[in-house]
């Protein structure tokens, strides 16, 4: 038995994660936790301001209390280890090139909207420019995956035929 989550930990609060951990008795796999890294090639002078505003927005309340945002994966690892779990992590960045224009444009739309909501004045203009340049752009969005195994839980359980 395994519990999984994808693109979730950065949207929830530390209290929500702590509540999950109090109930967690089986391995837990969480994929795609945003870690606050956003890189665009070619660069734009507004990239850093938009990324910082996006990160602030990630820390807002998404219905689970103040979200951990880009600090979620690292904080969750600490909470899991303190609860006796063995934790393995691996980077899982999104790498989008000019062959993924539609996905890049959708990503830019979401980033620009969130950054504008967080107060970045140039976010809308940045988004329009990035959407237009998507056919010539590469981007990397940092994510981390984690696997937590409870203490005393076997790493591999053989499955015997019945």
| pLDDT tens-digit readout, 110-120 | 999 999 999 99
Low-confidence stretches of the chain (pLDDT < 50) are 157, 160, 162
Asked if 137 and 111 touch (Cβ cutoff 8 Å), the reply is no
Nearest of 79, 89, 72, 70 to residue 147 by alpha carbon: 89
pLDDT given at position 120: 97
pLDDT given at position 81: 96
pLDDT given at position 154: 54
pLDDT given at position 155: 55
């Amino acid at each position: 038995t395994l519990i999984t989550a994808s693109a979730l930990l950065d949207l929830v609060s530390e209290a929500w994660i702590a509540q999950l951990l109090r109930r967690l008795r089986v391995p837990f796999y969480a994929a795609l936790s945003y870690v606050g890294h956003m890189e665009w090639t070619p660069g734009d002078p507004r990239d850093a301001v938009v990324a910082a505003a996006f990160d602030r927005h990630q820390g807002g309340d998404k219905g689970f209390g103040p979200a951990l945002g880009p600090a979620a994966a690292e904080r969750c690892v600490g909470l899991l280890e303190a609860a006796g779990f063995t934790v393995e992590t691996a980077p899982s960045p999104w790498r989008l090139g000019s062959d993924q224009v539609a996905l890049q444009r959708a990503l830019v739309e979401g980033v620009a909207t969130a950054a504008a909501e967080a107060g970045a004045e140039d976010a809308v203009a940045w988004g329009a420019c990035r959407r237009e340049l998507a056919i010539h752009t590469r981007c990397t969005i940092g994510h981390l995956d984690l696997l937590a195994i409870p203490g005393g839980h076997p790493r591999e359980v053989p499955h015997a035929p019945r």
